[in-house]
């Protein structure tokens, strides 16, 4: 089973090392393994989980909600229905964001057209 150094995980996930430490500190990332010198060695699962975190974060999920999701994941398979509900709710919020952005974009484009028309 392969392990990853902090630098590799930074490269892979796009999170800064400070952010990774912060996520571990607040429990969004489970205590990461260390080598004999006390340095972090991330597992494949850590990196996979960080992919999920990136996705949720980039779609605007607050850390508090991600933390709840993380707890469900840790609690075991019986929480899968809860996880589905949480992700479905988030999916609706993402859809709402997309719809909202698309509508605002129309306003912006109207404004651009108007500005063009008065040139």
Residue in the structure block whose two tokens are 């484009």: 109
Judged by CB under 8 A, the residue of 16, 35, 39, 109 near a second copy is: 109
- 6 contributes a contact to DNA by CB under 7 A: yes
- 111 contributes a contact to a second copy by CB under 8 A: yes
Q: DSSP class of residue 48? A: H
Burial class (CB in 10 A: 0-12, 13-18, 19+), 53: buried
Q: Report phi then psi at 40, rounded to 5.
A: -65, 140
Residue 22 near which of DNA, a second copy, none (CB within 5-8 Å, type-dependent) = DNA
Count residues near DNA (CB under 7 A). Answer: 20
Interaction site with DNA (CB under 7 A) = 5-8, 16-19, 21-22, 34, 36-40, 57, 62-64
């Amino acid at each position: 089973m392969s392990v990853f150094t902090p630098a590799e995980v930074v490269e892979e996930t796009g999170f800064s090392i400070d952010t990774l430490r912060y996520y571990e500190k607040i429990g969004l990332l489970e205590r990461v393994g260390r080598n004999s010198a006390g340095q972090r060695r991330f597992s494949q699962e850590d990196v996979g989980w960080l992919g999920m975190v990136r996705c949720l974060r980039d779609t605007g999920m607050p850390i508090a909600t991600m933390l709840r999701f993380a707890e469900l994941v840790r609690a075991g398979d019986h929480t899968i229905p809860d996880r589905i509900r949480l992700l479905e709710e988030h999916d609706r919020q993402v859809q709402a964001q997309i719809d909202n952005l698309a509508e605002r974009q129309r306003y912006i484009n109207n404004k651009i057209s108007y500005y063009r028309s008065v040139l």
